[in-house]
Structure 1
Amino acid sequence: MRVARDNGYDTLCRLGKTFGSVDGLCRALGLTTEERQILFGPYPSFWGPSVLSNGLMAADFNHSQLRWCPLCLGESAHLRGSWLLKISCVCNRHATWLQEKCPDCGSFQRLDKVNFEICGCGASLAEIRAARPVADSVYHLSQTVEASIIGNSALLGFPPLSLPEWLKLISYLGQFSETCRPRKPGKIANMHQLDTASAFLLQASYLLDSWPENFRALLAAIQCQAESEAKTKTSIRGTFGTLYHVLYTDLSAPCFQFLRDEFERFLHVHWPGVVNKRHRAFKPETVATHPRVTLKQAAKKAGIAPSTVRHFVRAELIAGNQTELPSGRKMRSVDEQSLAQIAVLAKECVTLGETAKQLVLPECRVRELISDGILKPLVSRMHGNAAAWLIPKQQVRALIFAGTGVTHSPPIINVRYILKYWHLREGEFITLVRALLERQLEPVGKSTESVPIGNICLDEQVARKWLVEKRYVGGASISVDEAAKRLGLKQQVVYDLVKLGLLATSQDDLPGRRVTQTSLEEFQATYISLAEFAVTLNRAPRWLLQTLSVQPVSGPMIDGSRQYFFRRVDLSI
């Protein structure tokens, strides 16, 4: 362009006709071989295909629009070869963004003009209106790319790359952000425009800056979006989509291994599924060291059944992850760090059958203990309809008792006998167990021996009295003999009261006439015996009977019964 202008040519095409090739022009200018090697960029199209070094292609360069740095043009009016690269957006000498539009009319400048210092409107392209500063991360990346023109160069902490490799890395990596991902990353349209190229350079520099935090943030955003859109899959390729394709196909060269290494390190921490030998693109150590394993693998390593691990996961005792395969089958996995916890849980638990054997109880009684909350299984039908029951051994041990060490005379009776022959009513077994736990009933036996609850021996009289009292408090009926004890009367007296209808009785499923708590309280509230009334007045019963003007409702002289009874209302008490 300078040669054409200084020799009076008004277009580049006329210069091209004068010199049939670039070699002819170089010979006319007397350029040495060393000077020719300094030249960078493609030839004008009228001289045919360019012979490019370093593996570059003509598509890597601008062929129509001009970019420039006004400060550089002001210092020396010539175009720098690096400005022709499509990815070149920064002047590395002045750390400012390049320009592509006239500062006055805003028109693009074309590369086929002769005078590149002046716009068609007459404005100087070296004039500075507003030089935009460049961020450090962009500036360092741009410097590295320009340095690779003469040999491989590297950013701090990254492997050295050639110029074509840098161009490829920026063009692919720059398409990805936390809010935008390309559907088909490939050849990019409008890279010859500064706005498009600078956006890619900015994003690529951001992802490479503070490595690998920003890259990890991109991976986390992609994974989070996949989860929010209910697209979570067991396929890593399906979750990360086009980025996975870029890392393992488009940027598959060994020089880009640092990207794949960081991607696989991210999966090691954040991928909830299993990484196995199906992932052939991964390094073998990535597959071998991935921390998540299937339930079957976890069970094998922990030495327990796979169903037990599944029950632990369902009961949320072990953190697990579930993904759905395209076939609809669900795949579960756990962290390998949970294996020790799984083994401990399995070792410290027993099944329902084992619990029944250790406590010497029928399984139905163990289920009662579970229903009432005395035993709290880690795994049961309440947790995902599990077929197995896993009960902590510690809770089972709480139902193994030691004797009081006090010598008891017979008769004694054990809990198994009570369950078999005493016909306990609903809830009474649980009441018995709680009485033992709360020491309301004391086991009979040596204090040095531990006895399961089924074999615990109790004083039979104490146990019967306790059961009768519990039933009575709970509203159960009692026999006439028991009612006599509660009233402090002889049995024959109470039978006479029943016969006379003064003490109401009922007939239930138990043999004999039964007295309810209500009828007993009504009798005590309505009637009082002569003996009891005499005690309250501190008088002799015989004297009191002779002095009272009130007629008794029952007695020896009235109906032949053994004691006199009065109505309380008649005695005004």
Structure 2
Amino acid sequence: MTGMPLTLICPPIRTSSYPDENPIGYLMRLADKNTYPSYRWLLEGDGVETVDYAKLYQTFLEAGWTGFQNADLGLAQVCALPNIHLNATRLRYCPLCLQEANYWRIGWQLKLSVACVRHRIWLQDLCPQCHKPYSFVGTRKQACQCLKYLTEAEIEPAVDSVIALQFFLENGVRQQNLELFDTKQLLALRRRSELMGFLMSWLTLGGDADKPGRQNFQQVAEFRLRAERSADALCAGQDGFWRYLQTIHLAGASLLDIQQKRLVNFYRQCFKEFPEPAFQRLREIVEHYATINLIRDITEKHTLFSPNAKKVQHWYSFSKACHEYDLVHSELNRAIVDKQVRAHYGPTGGKYTKCAIYRPDLEKILPHLKEMITARDAMDILGVTKAQFVQLQNNGCFKFEVAPREGYCSTWKYSKRELETLMDTVNKSAAPPSEDGILLASTLQNRIQGTIEMPFLQLFKGIVSGQIIVRKPDGRPRTFREFWLDKSEFYQWLKQLQPNCEAMTITEAATVLGINEEFAYQLVNRGHLLHKLDSRNAKMIFPDHVRRFRQEFVILSKLSDKSKYSSSQIIELLERDEIYPVDHNEPDKLRQRLYARADVLLSNKLYHYVQYLTETKP
């Protein structure tokens, strides 16, 4: 038969094919009707012993009685695929489809087919009885034994995204709205299959692998999870594809170097294998993700990236950052040491270490790095004395400041931009002067000195936070020493800062209650001893709080001092009546035992002593 074209032998009993029937499945069905022991009895010529869907399809078209002339367009596309995209001899099937019509659908032979779009279930590829894969080239006896069980296979519903992925594989993008693809661009079945295989293969990365190995997609159960993640990547828009990129970039990689190699290998392979306009949106997302996460320079040598990507990359090498932003090395080094700019260090392969700079951080502080001034100049911009400036400096009022360091600068440096912005904001919020106005500088000397701690710091914070309004007679910019204040507004603000004469600190309240300071803080923090916050957010205790505490609680040591019982005896007496401390069910106990007064009053032996516990006023 060598050299003879493949031909189909016309059997005595003939039948037409279904529009989407597998050519080999059709041969098997035809052989069964004629009781032939093998479907190969129906063929002669070259290719009888091999499975070649393209050759079979063409042979069936030439035989006018097969019905393949009326087959679906998709059948011809599947048969034209290279064998690498097909499960040539392995069966994959939908039990519900077989219940409706007992023939093999060509779509099941696509290697990456995972679901039945019609019934929205996962495809099966094992016999539910023997749990073995079914093969077209098996004997008819084995086939008959398994065929009767296939329709009884378990039905497993597939999620919507998987159904959408299967529809994409079978029909392309024109009949569904996929955000990542241009519906005007034709995408051949082979390219759709290659894209899905590419995405699924990268999901096999584990440990410190930086690129996937060779894949075979023989059984659906083995790659269901990858199919679901690929479905999310292609069918859930940009967010879904972004999640996919994060997975293949980061999952399981213990070292940053491995993560970077993965990302480089992925975008190179993606750009190389899918250059067509139909994949433009996918490449744009990959490029965007890479520009954000690649810790390296993207230069003119990286031809896969667009010119815009090279402009918006998030990481620069140290030398490129200094060159692009006109910085000396010491300035950038200082910003890194002060943790104002994120940096990544890595080996170069030799004895040197490379450093990458995070551009968004650098651009954020760049105006401040460019215009650093001395403390003397900073005082002039603010209009404050040296002592006042020290108060601001020691209390963290400046975001950008640089301490003296050998090899960088010999004095403290401050951001001119930050200080000028502060003064501009204060000047813009200034109100016209009132009839009863007072100059801020003289107020600090004559009216506020000695009444509160660090008066200028308190006044500065009050002005910046809007608690007190500064005033000026005209639109000319002023410094702090030149601002005016309304007298009544100032004294009202000052009164709020001054502590109430009746109020006590927690330390003072501890002395009044006759307990140690640590126990007093525990009582306040847990809400047993009430308090109020003053204008400085300090916790203050008032006489009513102390009286209320004594009315609601009893301290064991005080009860022991007042009664004839020791502390251990009192505990025993109370436990007999099932009376326990307030923190009985809490893991973190109070320093001393504290009881609810109402509970202790229930004890007949302690009732008298609780009534007459000391009620001395603080």
Bucket of the pairwise TM-score, normalised by the shorter protein? 0.5 to 0.7
Amino acid at match of 1:64: T
* 1:216-259: CA deviation from partner (whole Å, max 9, x where unpaired): 334445555698525379xx5x3525423432334444433333
Alignment of 1:458-473 (within 5 A): none
Label 1:373 to 1:342 Cα distance change in 2 as closer, same or farther (>3 A).
same
Paired residue total? 374
Amino acid at match of 1:9: Y
For residue 145 of structure 2, give the secondary structure of its aligned residue in structure 1. coil
Alignment of 1:470-481 (within 5 A): none
* 1:97-150: CA deviation from partner (whole Å, max 9, x where unpaired): 22222222223221125869x8443661453242010111001110121114xx
RMSD, aligned α-carbons? 4.7
Among candidates 35, 39, 45, match of residue 70 of structure 2 = 35
Aligned to 2:336: 313
For residue 276 of structure 1, give the secondary structure of its aligned residue in structure 2. coil
Query: 1: CA distance between counterparts of 2:174 and 2:139?
Result: 34
Q: CA deviation at 1:174?
A: 1.0
Label 1:132 to 1:255 Cα distance change in 2 as closer, same or farther (>3 A).
same
The answer as to 2:110 corresponding to 1:85 is yes
Aligned to 2:120: 95
Amino acid at match of 2:84: A
Label 1:126 to 1:6 Cα distance change in 2 as closer, same or farther (>3 A).
same
Contact 1:66 1:111 in 2 (8 A): yes
Among candidates 311, 321, 328, match of residue 288 of structure 1 = 311
Aligned to 1:217: 243
Query: 2: CA distance between counterparts of 1:341 and 1:241?
Result: 30
Among candidates 342, 346, 349, match of residue 366 of structure 2 = 342
Query: 1: CA distance between counterparts of 2:96 and 2:166?
Result: 17
Aligned to 1:64: 89
For residue 313 of structure 1, give the secondary structure of its aligned residue in structure 2. helix
Label 1:9 to 1:152 Cα distance change in 2 as closer, same or farther (>3 A).
farther
Q: Could you tell which deviates more after superposition, 307-316 or 337-346?
A: 337-346
Query: 2: CA distance between counterparts of 1:19 and 1:310?
Result: 74
Label 1:307 to 1:164 Cα distance change in 2 as closer, same or farther (>3 A).
same
Q: CA deviation at 1:9?
A: 0.9
Amino acid at match of 1:275: I
For residue 322 of structure 1, give the secondary structure of its aligned residue in structure 2. strand
Contact 1:313 1:319 in 2 (8 A): yes
Q: CA deviation at 1:95?
A: 1.1
Q: Could you tell which deviates more after superposition, 252-261 or 57-66?
A: 252-261
Aligned to 2:228: 202
Among candidates 262, 277, 281, match of residue 300 of structure 2 = 277
The answer as to 2:178 corresponding to 1:156 is yes
Amino acid at match of 1:163: L
Aligned to 1:75: 100
Contact 1:273 1:323 in 2 (8 A): no
Alignment of 1:447-458 (within 5 A): none
Label 1:334 to 1:39 Cα distance change in 2 as closer, same or farther (>3 A).
closer
Aligned to 1:265: 288
For residue 323 of structure 1, give the secondary structure of its aligned residue in structure 2. strand
Aligned to 1:322: 344
For residue 175 of structure 1, give the secondary structure of its aligned residue in structure 2. helix
Q: CA deviation at 1:392?
A: 2.6
Amino acid at match of 1:34: Q
Amino acid at match of 1:206: D
Query: 2: CA distance between counterparts of 1:127 and 1:113?
Result: 19
Aligned to 2:43: 16
Among candidates 177, 192, 195, match of residue 169 of structure 1 = 195
Label 1:33 to 1:341 Cα distance change in 2 as closer, same or farther (>3 A).
same
Q: Could you tell which deviates more after superposition, 131-140 or 280-289?
A: 280-289
Label 1:39 to 1:155 Cα distance change in 2 as closer, same or farther (>3 A).
closer
Aligned to 1:552: none
For residue 100 of structure 1, give the secondary structure of its aligned residue in structure 2. coil
For residue 231 of structure 1, give the secondary structure of its aligned residue in structure 2. helix
Contact 2:165 2:235 in 1 (8 A): no
Contact 1:5 1:114 in 2 (8 A): no
Label 1:31 to 1:245 Cα distance change in 2 as closer, same or farther (>3 A).
same
For residue 121 of structure 1, give the secondary structure of its aligned residue in structure 2. helix
Contact 1:153 1:162 in 2 (8 A): no
| Gapped regions of structure 2 (runs ≥ 5) | 1-27, 49-55, 382-389, 421-440, 443-455, 458-618
Q: CA deviation at 1:39?
A: 8.0
Aligned to 1:461: none
Alignment of 1:438-517 (within 5 A): none
Label 1:283 to 1:324 Cα distance change in 2 as closer, same or farther (>3 A).
same
Aligned to 1:111: 136
Contact 2:127 2:146 in 1 (8 A): no
* 1:49-97: CA deviation from partner (whole Å, max 9, x where unpaired): xx953xx212211122222222212211221111111111211111112
Query: 1: CA distance between counterparts of 2:153 and 2:68?
Result: 39
Among candidates 166, 180, 202, match of residue 206 of structure 2 = 180
Aligned-residue sequence identity (percent) comes to 19
Contact 2:401 2:415 in 1 (8 A): no
* 1:309-351: CA deviation from partner (whole Å, max 9, x where unpaired): 33233223x3232333414233242425644632234424139
Aligned to 2:469: none
Aligned to 1:145: 169
Amino acid at match of 1:311: R
Query: 2: CA distance between counterparts of 1:374 and 1:6?
Result: 95
Query: 2: CA distance between counterparts of 1:374 and 1:152?
Result: 64
For residue 124 of structure 1, give the secondary structure of its aligned residue in structure 2. helix
Query: 1: CA distance between counterparts of 2:288 and 2:45?
Result: 60
Q: Which has the larger radius of gyration?
A: 1
Query: 2: CA distance between counterparts of 1:216 and 1:293?
Result: 23
Amino acid at match of 2:126: K
Label 1:130 to 1:230 Cα distance change in 2 as closer, same or farther (>3 A).
closer
Label 1:385 to 1:330 Cα distance change in 2 as closer, same or farther (>3 A).
farther
Contact 1:302 1:343 in 2 (8 A): no
Amino acid at match of 1:290: Q
Query: 1: CA distance between counterparts of 2:415 and 2:180?
Result: 56
Label 1:255 to 1:249 Cα distance change in 2 as closer, same or farther (>3 A).
same
Query: 1: CA distance between counterparts of 2:144 and 2:188?
Result: 38
Query: 2: CA distance between counterparts of 1:12 and 1:31?
Result: 15
Q: TM-score, normalised by structure 2?
A: 0.50
Contact 1:41 1:81 in 2 (8 A): no
Query: 1: CA distance between counterparts of 2:105 and 2:347?
Result: 56
Q: TM-score, normalised by structure 1?
A: 0.54
For residue 357 of structure 2, give the secondary structure of its aligned residue in structure 1. strand
